[in-house]
Amino acid sequence: MHNIWQQQLKQALSGRTSEKLRQHPDFSHAGDGLFKTVITDEVNTAIKESSQPHVLLNQFLPINRETNIHPDFNQDPVGDHNALAQQGIIHKYHGRVLLVASGSCAVNCRYCFRRHFPYQKQLASRRNWQAVVSYLHNHPEVHEVILSGGDPLTLTTQSLTELTDRLIDLPHIKTLRIHSRMVTVLPDRIDGEFLNWLDALPWRKVLVTHINHADELTHKAMGSLHRLKQHSITLLNQSVLLKNVNDDADTLINLSHKLFDEGVLPYYLHLFDRVQNAAHFEVSLSRAQRIYARMRSQLPGYLLPKLVKEEAGEHSKTPLI
């Protein structure tokens, strides 16, 4: 039997909750065909309640410009393919590995740098969890496992439990990090069963949310952050600097303050990754640096996310300041 969040996810994936977007005058069937439109009811609510609905809409609405092909953009802008250590394991940086734990998300963000990722072939799914454990066993220098995707919280808590049960005997694992957008786009995912799972884990726990604009923090989303905070999980946020979404300093300064109000520290502000079919989101480096300089002049250091770019083949993210 499905619980509430699973029913909501099912509705989003079936397209039922994207009806409004499909009626929008800028909606493009061609864009939708390139990367399916997926949005949740919670995001529909956030759009309705926002005084600047376009800042949310632009993140999820497929438009004709997605069909433009740019020679300087590609399908794997951050070099995931070359960093695949084995199926579903991306090992780029020292001491941590990323598991592509799920190929789906509750929303499809039009600017996603993994919008072309071959999830069918490259998933750390239940079928190859044993291979994941063997890989980690052979890499005692790895102390942090990152669950990513797609969105790893589209997996049921039962599946997450089965996965983490397999990792428990690896003494060098000290931290579990989860990258998820569910906290804001499908806040009912943070339910009692999930929190019990977190509580039972023996490691340090970090959840990195993905919030680009303060209007994504609906009443329910703030509730889910509050529940997580009560369970002693470190909460960080990463944003992507996106044209016509959050490309001005006041918007990002406001976001940092709002995140802090909810117990979340701003972690990264990513320069847009040059993924094919999403070039219209790009903000130039010089403009990004101007925006960032103003953020730096207005925010205390602990509320200033690091402005970075992920470059294929590099052993860490590149700071842009």
Annotated binding residues, written as ranges, equal: 105, 109, 112
Residue 115 Cβ vs ligand SF4, minimum distance, rounded to whole Å: 7
Does 76 bind ligand SF4 (CB under 6 A)? Our answer is no
Binding mask 114-133 for ligand SF4 (x = CB under 6 A): x-------------------
Cβ distance 289 to 307 under 8 Å? Answer: yes
Q: Is 307 helix (H, G, I), strand (E, B) or coil?
A: strand
Numbered residues of the known binding site for [4Fe-4S] cluster: 105, 109, 112
Among 112, 183, 207, 208, interactor with ligand SF4 by CB under 6 A: 112
Residue 231 sits at φ, ψ, to 5 deg, of -105, 25
**CB-based burial of residue 84 (10 Å sphere; 0-12 exposed, 13-18 middle, 19+ buried)?**
middle
Binding mask 241-270 for ligand SF4 (x = CB under 6 A): ------------------------------
Q: Report CA-CA distances (Å) from 163 to 15, 144, 167.
A: 29, 15, 7
What is the token pair recorded at 233? 């999980």
Span from 75-83, 147-155, 227-235, 262-270 in contact with ligand SF4 (CB under 6 A): 147-155
Count of C-beta atoms within a 10 Å radius of residue 231: 14
Residue 196 Cβ vs ligand SF4, minimum distance, rounded to whole Å: 24
Quick one: 114 or 213, whose CB is closer to ligand SF4?
114
**CB-based burial of residue 14 (10 Å sphere; 0-12 exposed, 13-18 middle, 19+ buried)?**
exposed
Residue 149 Cβ vs ligand SF4, minimum distance, rounded to whole Å: 6
Does 181 bind ligand SF4 (CB under 6 A)? Our answer is yes
What is the token pair recorded at 204? 């340090």
Pairing of strands 89-90, 84-86: antiparallel
Span from 148-156, 197-205, 259-267, 301-309 in contact with ligand SF4 (CB under 6 A): 148-156
What is the DSSP code string of 92-103?
-STTEEEEEEES
Q: Bridge partners of 74? A: 275
Residue 113 Cβ vs ligand SF4, minimum distance, rounded to whole Å: 7
Does 109 bind ligand SF4 (CB under 6 A)? Our answer is yes
What is the token pair recorded at 95? 């001491």
Does 105 bind ligand SF4 (CB under 6 A)? Our answer is yes
Q: How many residues bind ligand SF4 (CB under 6 A)?
A: 11
Count of C-beta atoms within a 10 Å radius of residue 190: 25
Quick one: 43 or 198, whose CB is closer to ligand SF4?
43
Among 42, 80, 144, 151, interactor with ligand SF4 by CB under 6 A: 151
Residue 107 Cβ vs ligand SF4, minimum distance, rounded to whole Å: 6
Quick one: 112 or 252, whose CB is closer to ligand SF4?
112
E-assigned strand segments in the chain:
84-86, 89-90, 96-102, 144-149, 175-179, 204-210, 234-241, 265-271, 306-309, 318-319
Count of C-beta atoms within a 10 Å radius of residue 215: 21
Quick one: 47 or 299, whose CB is closer to ligand SF4?
47
Residue 59 Cβ vs ligand SF4, minimum distance, rounded to whole Å: 8
Among 62, 150, 152, 266, interactor with ligand SF4 by CB under 6 A: 150
Residue 130 Cβ vs ligand SF4, minimum distance, rounded to whole Å: 25
Interface positions with ligand SF4 (CB under 6 A): 105, 107-109, 112, 114, 149-151, 181, 210
